[in-house]
Structure 1
């Protein structure tokens, strides 16, 4: 049984390669699982429901209009949805504007960031009085954005909206 002699100049040692691959994998895992804490982070798929592009809806509410990003106040002042588009006791996620609008009780409209405070995923939908994040199953109250079930620890930040007649718009 003969084997070729090992030469240090022939390339990196197997231990070095294994250590480098392990370090890269650990770095990727830590990046993917890091807690953003600020509510910002990567954009996850906002769902592939039957609603219009950029929104996930509940109940029988019609699809709401979509527009530009909420970040940098783009779309502020533009109509986001009609009052009739937001179901009572539910809400609609506007993924393109990164906002979710809810109607906890008749005539009371609330808006929150559609970015989960756990790891920055986009919330998917509103059902049974909660805003649902599909990444790790965090649920938030439609009334105040507070955490109903974790792993998220921070509430969804409120977003300012205005209701003028039948139109709901970002402020």
Structure 2
């Protein structure tokens, strides 16, 4: 039984619990708390919009992380392993990556800024957050650069604004009592 446990758990547990796992826990608490605070403070997004954007970004992060971090592209590594299956990778993909995009969509909904300037600004914000994460060894770039990240995040933000706009246009036909 112990060997079975070891065969299952060893590949997904951190090699050692160090600064990248601590940073992951801290950033998880921070982004989830900020998202919760914003959504409770002032409802800019319906529950359906939040859920839709969150799920859309969960889909994007899991598929694109696999595409870019795994062979054949293998552009970077995350956390402790060359594969994206460590338990802290799962935490990052499900609890850390989607909330900043939901937060960005929250402010987009609230202030309705110029979408191009907004996507460029959020591209810079997300790239800056990634640069901070590099200091905690969350990523180890191989054939990837922060410039790629910037363009990638601009694309992701534009895609999310388009997605959110479509979701909002559909939700206006749903009775209000089902959206809150």
**Do these two structures clear the TM 0.5 threshold for a shared fold by scoring above it?**
no
Q: Which has the higher contact order (CA 8 A, sep 6+)?
A: 2
Asked which structure has the greater CA Rg, the reply is 1
Structure number having the greater helix percentage: 2
Q: Structure 1-normalised TM-score?
A: 0.28
Structure number having the greater strand percentage: 1
